Structure formats: C-alpha cells, structure tokens
Amino acid sequence: MSALCRFIHAEKADYPIVLLCRVLHVARSSYYAWREGEAARHARQAADDALAHEITVLHVASRRTYGVPRIHAELRRLGRRVNRKRIARVMRERNIRGVTRRKRRSLTRPDKKAKPAPDLIGRDFHAERPGIKLVGDITYLPTAEGWLYLACWLDLATREVVGYAMADHHRAELVVDALDMAYGRGNLEPGCVIHSDRGSEYTSTQFCE
C-alpha cells in the first residue's frame, strides 16, 4: 500500500488523485491518511536531525565525554525540554557516545618540557557572547588511504565550529591552520580565551606564537 501511495503522490501533479486512486484500486481515504502520516514522519525526522546537531555540538564541547545523562542535563539547562529516551535513541542511531572504559587510541601527547598554561576556562564551558571563548580538539577518521586528522575550534556561545583544518598528520600546523580560520571568520574579540588539552600540538612554540 505504501508503494502505491508513494506512486500516487509522485504522479498527482500530472493526473487527478481521484483517477490515480481508481486505477490503482486505492481508497482515497487511505491515500490521504498515508499522506498525513508521511508529513508527520518527515517532521519527526527533521526534528531529530536538529536535535542531533545540538547534541553533537554539546558532545564536541565536552571533548566527547558527555553521555546521555549529561547531554540531557545540559539541554535542560539551555531551556530544551527533551525526553531522555529520545536523546538516547538519537545518540544511539548516530553512534554518539560518551567516555567508556574501553581503551581507545589517544592523540594527546603532552610535552613534558613545555611550560604549563593556566586554565582560564575553569570548567565553565559557557559564554555570554560569541568571540570570547573557544575550545579546540583533534580527532581522527579512518580512510582508505590511512588516518585523516581533523582539528576544530568551537565557539562556546554559539556552539558552532568556527575553524577547522584537515591533514594526514597532527603536527602543530594542523591546529594553527584551524585557529587561523577561526580568527578569520569567528569575529574573535581581543583577549579571547582558547582552551584545549595539554597535547604537544597546543604547547608547541609554533602554536604559542
């Protein structure tokens, strides 16, 4: 029945619905019920996609540590009343996970000789306006030609990525290129705080300059 209704919906611009339903032996009430259900399904999918974007931004800002409970709490703090089971379903469908006990490949290689930088964020991952607080991280993606490394800078006010760079390495220039993009398009204010882990890419002379 769904296939016939989809065919009617695709051809209704060229032929009357009454004629199509009669030829295909589909009750008009059945077609209209299917059409209403299809519109509702599209609306739910669009809402899920929008929620998935919000979840992804919060997940990246937490350095991929937030699971369902903390994502749910953060959304509530931001005024989004979303059912916890729905959040769990959307995260599961898109393979968004928090920190687990399983050992994973880490990109953080601290430089023991580097002078520790002060933590200006203080675990306060919120900003009153764009351009005053950024968080950065590097992740890696498997490809047919090897690992692809992605460096991002995210604005904590808008929860949007304002700078990124990709390469087949994760040397200091990767995060510098991403920061250059953020500087060029992120409208950063003087004194903007940038926060990252203590990996050698972020403590290198090239980055600090």
77 and 155, same domain (yes or no):
no
89 and 138, same domain (yes or no):
no
Residue 53: inside a domain = yes
**From the centroid of its chain, how far is CA 13?**
38
Residue 191 DSSP code: T
Phi and psi at 165, nearest 5°, equal: -155, 150
Q: pTM score, two decimals?
A: 0.43
Last residue of a domain, one of 30, 62, 93: 93
β-pairing verdict for 133-143 and 193-195: parallel
145 and 86, same domain (yes or no):
no
**Do the beta carbons of residue 56 and residue 161 sit within 8 Å?**
no
Q: How many domains does the chain have?
A: 2
pLDDT digits (tens, 9 = 90+) for 13-53: 888 888 888 888 888 888 888 888 888 888 888 888 888 88
89 and 31, same domain (yes or no):
yes
84 and 142, same domain (yes or no):
no
pLDDT digits (tens, 9 = 90+) for 45-99: 888 888 888 888 888 888 788 889 889 998 888 888 888 999 999 999 888 887 6
Q: Which two tokens stand for residue 12?
A: 């209704």
Residue 99: inside a domain = no
